[in-house]
Amino acid sequence: MTTAHHSTSPQAVDIAIVGGAMAGATLALGLAKLSATLARPLRIALIEAHVATNTHPGFDARSIAIAHGSIFELTRLGIWPMLKHLGTPIENIHVSDRGHFGMTELNAKPLGLDALGQVVELAKVGSILFDELAKSSVQVYCPAKVTDLQPQQDGHLLSLDDGSQLHCQLLVAADGAHSVVRQHLGQTTEQIDFQQTAIVANVTTNQPHQHWAYERFTQTGPLALLPMLNMTALPAQSQESSVQIKEASAQLKTSAKGHARFSLVWALPPAQADELKNADKTEFLAALQHAFGHRVGQFVDVGQRVSYPLTLSYMPRPIYHRCVFVGNAAQTLHPIAGQGFNLGLRDVVGLLDVIEHALIQANGEVDLGDSDIVHQYLAARQSDRDNTLRNIEFLVRGFSNQHWPLVAGRNIGLRLLSWLPPLKRPVAQTAMGWR
């Protein structure tokens, strides 16, 4: 879907977003909503290399947990109402440590909430967001790849692989972990290789999930199960309309008894992950049952297994001349705490707030690439990014270690959380992405 026109002279826009997956697409929709309130609408371009199909790298077979705080922000941006019917609420989270006594629960009810978060399938989210973008004021270049960019005093000149060129005042890099924008601008990241690979798959159990999510820390790495809708009766993803999904999911939500679908993320040493990814179904299910135990009954089926090497990469300063980085382009996290998009969305909301504030102050006439705007974004994101990254590194290192003082410490920590309910609130709030 290329909605913008090719021309020989560069198309001038206020803001160009490179990458239209979760971060880029939500930012573009947020900007379009903001623009609709202005006397002079913003000229917004979104460039995405892939159309929303099963092979899209950002909207793939993954399911992700969107925290309560992020649902609040997505609602404010007008996006969650479009996605709500795809969500499976997480009402309780069970955290345990395999082979040790530590375990705890986080529950929505005592916190006065209906859910701690919602699980959504990215492939389905992608087609809905792109349908909405097609109806919006955003100029969508898709499929189109940014192949070159030249920083200029008053902006950036972007060249796309379809031969068109764009000139923008502000460039937003939302192009993921291997950001082409970052490479062109010669910016580096700090990297931590956890020596783990995550196997991601949908699994079926012989008991209903009752809206529980599970996080289990094992000797080899963490294992997470997120509850999902039983969507097997849905038509092929490419043909389904959101109305069809809505009807089918409502029906299945009430009829799903006796078994459940979960989205599995299982972090393992790379060699073991490779072995299990290629193991036959029975062998894989037996290994999973052994690692997880019987808290969700018996694992009876597993879908396609995909693997992701787990590294944490992080730009200490996610800005450049007339350029900001958001989402995975700015930092790519370990999926242990389900924080990647939640943190990416806070980048998006942080940028939207800075832009809105600048527009109000300047009565709508503002150069969006102004150094003040770029630096205000940096300042607004600093402490949240630093804290989240520190916590995740601590969790990964702390829970993948069998050294006894750490084992004792983390088990006592988990047990303390169970014994002292008031202590749970800050933990739950962090898990839910509250600021």
Ligand X SMILES: Cc1cc2nc3c(=O)[nH]c(=O)nc-3n(C[C@H](O)[C@H](O)[C@H](O)COP(=O)(O)OP(=O)(O)OC[C@H]3O[C@@H](n4cnc5c(N)ncnc54)[C@H](O)[C@@H]3O)c2cc1C
Under the binding rule (CB under 6 A), the answer on residue 344 touching ligand X is yes
- CA–CA dist 84, 128 (Å, integer): 11
Our CB check for ligand X shows the closer of 48 and 132 to be 48
- At its nearest, how many Å lie between ligand X and the CB of residue 338? 3
Sole window of 127-135, 341-349, 377-385, 412-420 interacting with ligand X (rule: CB under 6 A)? 341-349
- CA–CA dist 89, 86 (Å, integer): 10
Kind of pairing between the strands at 165-173 and 11-18:
parallel
- Please tell me what DSSP assigns to residue 291: H
Q: Quick one: which of 174, 144, 180 has its CA closest to 6?
A: 144
- Inter-residue contact 212 to 92 (CB < 8 Å): yes
- At its nearest, how many Å lie between ligand X and the CB of residue 431? 11
Sole window of 9-17, 50-58, 279-287, 388-396 interacting with ligand X (rule: CB under 6 A)? 50-58
- CA–CA dist 375, 70 (Å, integer): 24
Our CB check for ligand X shows the closer of 220 and 418 to be 220
Under the binding rule (CB under 6 A), the answer on residue 58 touching ligand X is yes
Sole window of 28-36, 172-180, 211-219, 400-408 interacting with ligand X (rule: CB under 6 A)? 172-180
With CB under 6 A as the contact rule, the residue among 28, 31, 45, 49 that binds ligand X is 49
With CB under 6 A as the contact rule, the residue among 4, 13, 24, 172 that binds ligand X is 24
Under the binding rule (CB under 6 A), the answer on residue 138 touching ligand X is no
Q: How far is CA 385 from the centre of its chain?
A: 15
Under the binding rule (CB under 6 A), the answer on residue 342 touching ligand X is yes
Residue 332 CB coordination number (10 Å): 23
Under the binding rule (CB under 6 A), the answer on residue 293 touching ligand X is no
Residues 234-273 within binding reach of ligand X (CB under 6 A)? 265
Under the binding rule (CB under 6 A), the answer on residue 118 touching ligand X is no
99: left (phi over 0), alpha (psi -120 to 50) or beta: left
The encoded tokens of residue 156 equal 């950036």
Sketch the per residue contact string, 373 through 412, with ligand X: x for CB under 6 A, - otherwise. ----------------------------------------
Helix (H, G, I), strand (E, B) or coil at 170: strand
Q: How far is CA 163 from the centre of its chain?
A: 31
Residue whose structure tokens are 């997505």: 74
- Give the total of residues touching ligand X (CB under 6 A): 36
Sole window of 189-197, 337-345, 367-375, 397-405 interacting with ligand X (rule: CB under 6 A)? 337-345
- Inter-residue contact 49 to 145 (CB < 8 Å): yes
Q: What is the end-to-end Cα distance of the chain in Å, rounded?
A: 36
- CA–CA dist 297, 203 (Å, integer): 12
Our CB check for ligand X shows the closer of 202 and 411 to be 202
- Inter-residue contact 304 to 61 (CB < 8 Å): yes
Under the binding rule (CB under 6 A), the answer on residue 222 touching ligand X is no
Sole window of 21-29, 297-305, 379-387, 412-420 interacting with ligand X (rule: CB under 6 A)? 21-29
- CA–CA dist 101, 431 (Å, integer): 22
- At its nearest, how many Å lie between ligand X and the CB of residue 1? 14
- Please tell me what DSSP assigns to residue 2: B
- At its nearest, how many Å lie between ligand X and the CB of residue 54? 13
User: In the complex, which residues of this chain contact ligand X (CB under 6 A)?
Assistant: 18-24, 47-50, 57-58, 62, 64-65, 145-146, 174-177, 180, 198, 200, 265, 308, 327-328, 335, 338-342, 344
